[in-house]
Structure 1
Amino acid sequence: MKRSTKRKLTRLGLYALFVAIVAWVALTVNWQAVHATFWAPGRKDNWHDLITIGVVKTLEYTAVCFFVGLIFATVLSLMKLSPVAPYRWLATGYIEFFRGLPALVVILACAFGVPIAFDWHPPIIWAGLLGLILVSSAYMAETLRAGIQAVPKGQTEAARSLGMSNARTLFSIVLPQAFRIVIPPLTNEFVLILKDTSLLYLIGVEFGQRELSSVARDFTSSGATAGTSTALTQVALLYLIITLPLTRLVAWLEKRQQRAR
């Protein structure tokens, strides 16, 4: 038998296996129970709060954590590349520490541990956002450091030969190019922060500060869809509506950069 024929038969066998698995699932699943659990009647009552409160607050928290974390990350990346050793040690320690901890642990520590230790009592939501900022800035700092180091050294040398100071060279030449290089991974980090805001429901935010997961949790315990997972299904759909375009944007930006190179 020819090798090409074997490949065709193997491919047909894989297709047949896939069809068989799908058919088995379709025939064995209790679709009535699935519909009652994940898409129960009364779901229309959930959309208003999920969108006007959950989506809005989720996007607000994501924007705050991303842009504040990006500013902090820029400072950390410059410290890590600094010729002054203590700055490098401090930045490296911070980055490795917060990259090594789960975001959930940091959020809980900022919401409950730090206020007790330092007698600091901010609104609970701001303590939670602080935890997300600390974690996201550590990841973005490494991304920015890589972007700065990816800028050709000839750019810096050319700027210095024109009489530019080190600070002007950094902010006028190096950083703009570095940010352009790291746009795809920063967009990906934005998506990760958006999904990590779902962890804020564990610290118990107030009614008007609820993000998507907190709103869904309330609907699973009360309302027309109480006792079902319908609200979670709706939240999953909303997350996908937000994140899928962003992930496709990341893929498009990466392809564009590859073509430019």
Structure 2
Amino acid sequence: MKIDLHLHTNFSDGEKSVEELIHFITSKKIDIFSITDHDTIASLDLARIKANKYNKIFIPGVEISTYYKGGEVHILDYFVDSRNGLLLSFLEERFSKRIKRMKETIHILKKMGFDINYNDVVKTSPGPYIGRPNIAKALVQKGYISKPAEAFTDELIGNNGKAYVPPDDCSPNDAIDIILKTGGIPVLAHPGIYFSDGNWKLKEEDIKKFVNAGLKGLEVYHSKHTKEDFEYYREIARKYDLIITVGSDYHYSDNPVSTEMPIDDEVFSEVWKCIKPLVF
């Protein structure tokens, strides 16, 4: 069973529609998948329908943006109940605050001399969601940069960028708490690409704090993790009896999916063993 539990659609900052994404992962031989759009579950009902059409096992998810020690930490919520009122209220608030942060970022950029406005950014998104990638696209369209990646620097909207506005109103523990209260499974996303004030990667001492708060899983296998990261985080996951997951964090056509990552069938078997009791 080939698995990818971290995928994005154009309901957040991915380039593909739900059906385009599922058709695409079918071509990549992926059997089990999760859509984990940022701070929204708007894609999930459609994804369930399309997953049945393509005969896939679908795990509904969402990726929640939080702030920890000066850097962003993302918590994945799996087996989301998309009818849960408490979760819907929480995500609605997160989404509203996301829009507010993006407007603040645009305001800072304008003060820095960049002639972009909110409508310019909204036009780059097929839906109501906007995030930093949409601001980057607007900067490309205005001719300030040649490709979106150039926006993610200390000069612009990178994690230490002059125009970056962090999601500092929500901690990892806040997200874990709401996920547990609403029947989900909280999993720490891509711990190997955390960055804050010159510090790279979340360490065991950080992950232990999240475990104490109720964290249930760790995204050991991520497309931007190194082989050393795989080994380090697998050890931690086993030590704290955490669910081990694999997720590509696919957004765009130049990103790999899980079947294109440097992992073998043994890894997929290990992940399937972890999640199978939750699926059936």
Bigger strand share: 2
**TM-score, length-normalised on structure 1?**
0.24
* TM-score (norm: length of structure 2): 0.23
Instruction: State which structure, 1 or 2, has the greater radius of gyration over its C-alpha atoms.
Output: 1
1 or 2, which has the higher helix percentage? Answer: 1
